């Protein structure tokens, strides 16, 4: 099953956060809790799947000379649509993610996949790629959010599991984002090294 492989590939071998190192801004900024990480991941996945589908569908109609501006317009439209939908139906998440929703436009993952994958493959493969990369991104963000929330506010998905006096606030703040991601990356590397 080739399509299945594409999806798995996006989650592990080409994980956008841990392997491709793309889209770092939302990864660090929005993962103060597992729920926020999940929300950002799903929002990005939505845009990624839509833009991959659209671009793969119309790849032959877009001349090479204007392909980047066309991709940007397509991505920006999906992002704006998403922004309005979130504002209407999940206002709390919209408020928390704030400026990072319009900034999905400049997330290198989306333009990168449009250029490297969707423009060269058929529509089904492009959708699978969107799903795979999207899930990979979502998993990474949720994991990062989970660790930061647990250490920083002693909670798991908003449920308090440790007394507040044991909170290490720094993990919710900016430095904690860098340090947690650095350590998670080191763990991923050491697993990879052991396999090799």
Partner 1 sequence: MEYFLIFISAIFVNNIVLSQFLGICPFLGVSKKINTAAGMGLAVTFVLTVAVIVTYSLQNWVLEPYDLGYLQTILFILVIAGLVQMLEMILKKVSPSLYQALGIFLPLITTNCCILGVSILVANATYNAQGLEPTLLTGVVYAIATSIGFAVALIIFAGIREQLARVDVPKSMEGMAIALITAGLLALAFMGFGGVDHGIAVAAGL
Partner 2 sequence: MKKLKSNIANMAIVLTLIAVLAAGALAWVNDETSGPIEEINNAAIENGIKSVILGDRDIEFTVESPREQDGFVFHNVNDRNGNLLGTAVESTDKNGFGGALKIMVGFDPDGVILGYTVLEHSETPGLGAQADGWFRQKSADVQEQPVALDILLGKPAAPGNHNIIGMNPGDDMMTVSKDGGDVDAITASTITSKAFLRAVNAAYKALFGYTAADAVSGASSQN
Q: Point out which residues bind partner 2 (CB under 8 A).
A: 32, 59-66, 69-70, 73-74, 76-77, 80-81, 84-85, 87-89, 91, 152-153, 163-167, 169, 172-173
Name which of partner 2, partner 1, none residue 124 binds, using a CB cut-off of 5 to 8 Å depending on partner kind: none
Of residues 18 and 117, the one with the C-beta less far from partner 2: 117
Length of the chain: 196
Of residues 21 and 85, the one with the C-beta less far from partner 2: 85
Say how far apart CA 12 and CA 104 lie, in whole Å.
Answer: 22
Inter-residue contact 33 to 153 (CB < 8 Å): yes
Q: What share of the chain is helix, strand, coil (3-state, %, to 5)?
A: 75, 0, 20
User: Whole-number minimum distance, CB 1 to partner 2, in Å?
Assistant: 27
Judged by CB under 8 A, does residue 178 bind partner 1?
yes
Say how far apart CA 123 and CA 179 lie, in whole Å.
Answer: 39
Name which of partner 2, partner 1, none residue 88 binds, using a CB cut-off of 5 to 8 Å depending on partner kind: partner 2
Inter-residue contact 116 to 140 (CB < 8 Å): no
45, 126, 147 from 121: Cα distances, Å = 18, 6, 36
Of residues 25 and 66, the one with the C-beta less far from partner 2: 66
Name which of partner 2, partner 1, none residue 179 binds, using a CB cut-off of 5 to 8 Å depending on partner kind: partner 1
């Amino acid at each position: 099953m080739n399509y299945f492989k594409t999806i798995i590939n996006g989650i592990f071998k080409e994980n956008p956060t841990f392997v491709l190192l793309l889209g770092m801004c939302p990864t660090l900024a929005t993962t103060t809790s597992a729920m926020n990480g999940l929300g950002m991941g799903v929002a990005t996945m939505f845009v990624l799947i839509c833009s991959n589908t659209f671009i793969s569908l119309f790849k032959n109609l877009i001349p090479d000379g204007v392909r980047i501006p066309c991709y940007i317009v397509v991505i920006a439209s999906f992002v704006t649509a998403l922004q309005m939908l979130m504002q209407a139906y999940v206002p709390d998440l919209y408020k928390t993610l704030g400026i990072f929703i319009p900034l999905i436009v400049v997330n290198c993952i989306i333009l990168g996949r449009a250029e490297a994958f969707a423009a060269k493959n058929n529509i089904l493969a492009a959708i699978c790629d969107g799903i795979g990369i999207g899930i990979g991104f979502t998993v990474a963000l949720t994991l990062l959010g989970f660790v930061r929330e647990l250490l920083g506010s002693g909670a798991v998905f908003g449920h308090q599991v440790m007394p507040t006096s044991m909170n290490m606030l720094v993990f919710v703040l900016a430095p904690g984002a860098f340090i947690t991601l650095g350590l998670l990356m080191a763990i991923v590397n050491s697993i990879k090294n052991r396999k090799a």
